[in-house]
Every structure is written in C-alpha cells, then in structure tokens.
Chain A
Amino acid sequence: MTASALPARAVKAREPRPQRAREMAGNVGWGVLAWVVGIAFFLPVLWMVLTAFKPESAAQTWPPKFIFSPTLAQFRLVFSGWGPFVTHSLIATTVSTLLVLLLGVPAAYALSVRPVPHWRDGLFFFISTKMLPIVAAIGPLYVIALHAHLLDSIWLLIILYTAMNLPLAIWMIRSFMLEVPRELLEAARLDGAGRIREINGVILPIISPGLVSTALICVIFAWNELFLALNLTITNAATMPMFLISSVPQEGLYLAHLSAAATVASIPVILVGWIAQRSLVRGLSMGAIK
C-alpha cells in the first residue's frame, strides 16, 4: 500500500490548477444542494409560521400570499384560549418526566454499575414493552380508567406517559452510567461509600448532563402525545394536541388561526430539540449511538 501511496501523493501535491478549481466548484455545488434540500425540508415549518402572522383573509388566497401586513391577532386568540390545555400539558409532561428519572436512575444502576443476575433479560423486558402497541389495549384501558375514576384525570396521563418513556430512559441512563470511570467507583467503595452515596456522590454528578438529555427526550414524547389524551380525556385533562384539534372549526376560515396554534404548540419542543441536537441522536437510539 505504501508503495502505491507515495506516487499518488506526489501527484496530488503538484495538482494542476484547473483540477483544484473544479474540485472547489464541486464542493460549492454540494453545499448549494445541501442548502436547497434543507430549505425545502424546512418549508412547511416556515409556511406554518408565516401563515400564523396573516389575517384570516390573507391565509386563504390564490395565489398564496408571501407579502402581507403581519398581525398578532391569531396569537392573541390562541393565548386567550390555551390556558387549561397548556397547564395540563405542562403538568403531565413535567411530573411524568420527574417520575421517569426517579424510577429510571436506580433501575439503570441495577442494570449497569452493580448489575443484577439476568440483567440482560431485564433490559430486554423493558424494551419489549415499547414494542407492544398500546393502541391494542385502548378499549380495556378506557374501562379500567372508568372504574378507577381516573378517566379525564391528569393523573391517568402522568401514569401512562411515565410507563411510555421509562424503558427509553432506562436504556439511555444506563449508557451514561457505563461511561463512569470504574476507578472512581472503586475508590468510592474503598472509602466505604454505600450504594446511596455511590449514586448521589459519584454517579449523579458525572451523568447529570446525560440525565438532562434523557429528560428532554421524555419531554418531547410526552408533550407531543395525542392518542392516549384523545381517548382518555375530555376537558379536565385535555392537552395541547387537543387544543390544536379544537382550533379547527366546523365552518369558516381557520387556516391562519390553526397555524398560530400549531406554531405555539410546537415551539417549545422545537427549541428544546435545537438546543439538545447532540443528545438527540443518543436519546433516540436509546443510548446505542454516542
């Protein structure tokens, strides 16, 4: 390989100018293509935000309007009606995420740092629950909730969202715990640290950025969830996705109002996702990809 490598490199160093120019033009070409693809992919989001600032009459025109006098009227309308919905969403999302961390950290510890016998089966049990389609149990779930007096209650959503995100969180937290240097753990044990002190004093400070990204992933899934909310709540626990549905009236113009509601409902998760871009991959692959 070295024999063939040397002449090749020598040729490259004395590369004639036109070829280098062509190479640079090629790179610019790829860059332009990437930008075109990116913008095309982003276009629906852009259109949603743009439409949100239109008066209703300007949102339904042919050809579609790109220049118009922007108004905040639709947002005012959204903010006048979203109160209960956003409160329910915030409660369901925050409490379920905290519960997930509370249950997930010890479980991940028992599956990584000081693993239980058959820890692999445990890991695969958790992941297998993500494969069971919850939709299959929706009828009975309704009946159970009815008898438990949990129908249309925010607690029902909290319980279900916790179960929905827990497997993901356990896999993810576990992958962070495996990265804690074993020497640190050994040192803590030699100092006589018990399990609790090992977790609180050594592991948690090291994996706290990982816990934050785990929490963000859980927030995204809980905030966006519609199926369970739609089936099991009516008014007392209706969440943001249901607010969106309520912004589509039976008749009359609504595209601008809908776009404003969709923008408001999506913005928190979009911002969270933009900030947490790096950990997004790791979370979505359940810790498989670092």
Chain B
Amino acid sequence: MTVLEDLAPPPEVEVRLHTLSRRERWQLRLPLLPALIYTIVVTQIPFLVTLWYSFQSYFWNTTAGAHFNGLSNYKTVFTSPAFRGSLVRSVVMTATAVIVAMLLGVAFAVLLDRKFFGRGVVRTLIITPFLVMPAAAALVWAGPMLDPNFGLVNWLLQPFGVHHVAWLSTHALGSVILVMIWQWTPFMTLIVLAGLQGQPADTLEAAKVDGAGALATFRELTFPHLRPYIELGILLGSIYLVNVFDAVRLMTNGGPGTATTNLPFYLFQQVNNAFDIGGAAATGVVTVILTIIVATFALRMFARVFQFEEAGA
C-alpha cells in the first residue's frame, strides 16, 4: 500500500539523545559530515561569490578585471524592464505548466486506475515523455513536430483549418509551455496514481454500497485523500520547472524578441552575450532572495505534506 512517509523516528531514539556524551554525539555526526560539508562547499560557496560579485563591475571579456561599484548592479536590476519581464514570464510559464500538467495528471491517473486491457502498456506510453532527454524533446518538438512546412502537428491539425502555422514564431510562449506540460504530465500522473492506488478499498466499496455516485465519491472521498499527493506534485514540479532552460534555449532562444525569455535564460544571456558577471550576479542574488521567500512557504508545505507537524515536536 502506498503511504506518505512519516518524518518521526521511533520515540525511544529521540528520548535517548539527552543522555549522550560529547564523544557519542560526534560519533553520531561523523557519517553525516562528508555529505554535509560537501553540500555546503559546493552549493553555498558559489552563492557567496555571487553576492561578492554583485557589488562589482566585472566584464569577463575585458582585461580590466573586477572593481567595486556599490549598488549600481542592483539599481540596474530593479530598473530594468528586461529583468521584470523575465521574472513575470518565469512565473507564467511555471504556473501554467504545473497547473495544466496536474489537471492532465489527475485525469490520466483516474483513467489508469481502472482495469482495462493493456493497462501496463498504456502506463508505460504515458510515462515515456518524462524520460526523453529535455534537450531532445525540445529539438524534436521544434523540428519534426512543429516545423511550419513539414511538421506533424500542422498535418494533424489540417482538418481543423490550420495551415502551416509557424508555431515557434506566432505562439512561442505557448509552444515552450506545451513541451514543458508534455514532459511533466507523466510525473504528475505517477504521483496522483500512487495516491489513488493507496486509497483504502473498503471505504470506496462502502460508498458504492451506500449508493454514492462516482462524482460524489471523488469529491467527498478521493479528492481529500489525494490532496497531499497533489500538493507534493505541484511543489516538486515547480522546483524543477521554474529552472526550465533547455526548451527555451533550443526551441526559441528566448525569442522572438524576449517573448520566451525566462529568468534562467536571461541570466544565461547576461553571462554569455553581455559578458556581464556583475550584472548577472546581482540578478542572481535578487532571484535567490525571491526564491528563499517562496521556498520558505514551500518548505512549510513540504513539512506538512510529510506529516511533519503531527509527528514532530
């Protein structure tokens, strides 16, 4: 049976901690230290350096080197429409993709939860998009699928009066979001399906016997049961999707104009096209601060999803 894991160890372990000697405590810590130090060094130091460079003017294509320029990078960030635009697009892309993928995921999971011929095969077909290398997915969608002259999509939509639409120029943002949804719906499906299959069968049977309709059963029993799974899916999906880069870089290169430039791509451009380490660093710091604000809520949600509050102190 599928259950959400409990974050509490057996109580006897917790109680013993107070009686430990210094040496025993270090013995407990020792196995954790390599991973902890590694993670701190590799993930935190780059951000400290980012903070440092965010107060410098540093163009890596010149020999001038870095010099302190106070808050001027930050002034640029906050007054630049490019930053604001890419922030908004990041939010729009992530939110749309996560919500649509989750809606489709719930629908697919409900389908897959029934018994029918070849269920395993259909399940395999549905999870495959998630396994396709994101760079490959982006390029295949941009080429063989969405090509204005030879693409499969235009051919399939022909009966509906669609003629050689250049999707990547006329519906750039939608096309990128489409690929994000295509890749992440399987993820949502799997998580929701696990939730559906973890539903106690006897409760459902009782509801059926009591004459509850399918819709009422879903609303009153299934949905409340699924809620933590849906929250987990949205949370994890957002963590990954907010960083989407491959689809933007390889399908539209942020364009046309800046139509699909999200924050990751904007940062990429600052470093690679404008050679502006200082500016990119300031943008990065602001991004991290925004992320921390969102992540604080996310972590709280995470704790709740893992039934942390009930189980913990």
Contacts and interface: CB of A to CB of B under 8 A. Distances in A.
A37 B182 CA distance: 12
B154 to A, nearest CB: 9
Contacts of B242: 133
A230 B128 CA distance: 25
B289 to A, nearest CB: 10
Contacts of B28: 110, 114-117
Given A34-B114, A244-B133, A9 B209 contact: yes
B155 A63 contact: yes
Contact of B53 (A28, A139, A160): A139
B9 A163 contact: no
Interface in B22-47: 25, 27-32, 34-36, 38-39, 42-47
B245 interface: yes
Given A27-B114, A30-B114, A290-B3, A122 B36 contact: yes
Contact of A284 (B129, B139, B191, B295): B191
Interface residues of B, number: 122
A229 B291 CA distance: 23
Contacts of A125: 36, 39
B31 A38 contact: no
Contacts of B124: 274, 277
Contact of A35 (B122, B147, B186, B209): B122
A66 to B, nearest CB: 10
Contact of A273 (B25, B35, B131): B131
B133 A269 contact: yes
B89 to A, nearest CB: 14
Contact of A143 (B7, B60, B144): B60
Interface string B211-252: 100000000000000000100100010010011011001100
A270 interface: yes
A258 B264 contact: no
B165 interface: no
Interface string B125-144: 11111111111110111011
B118 interface: yes
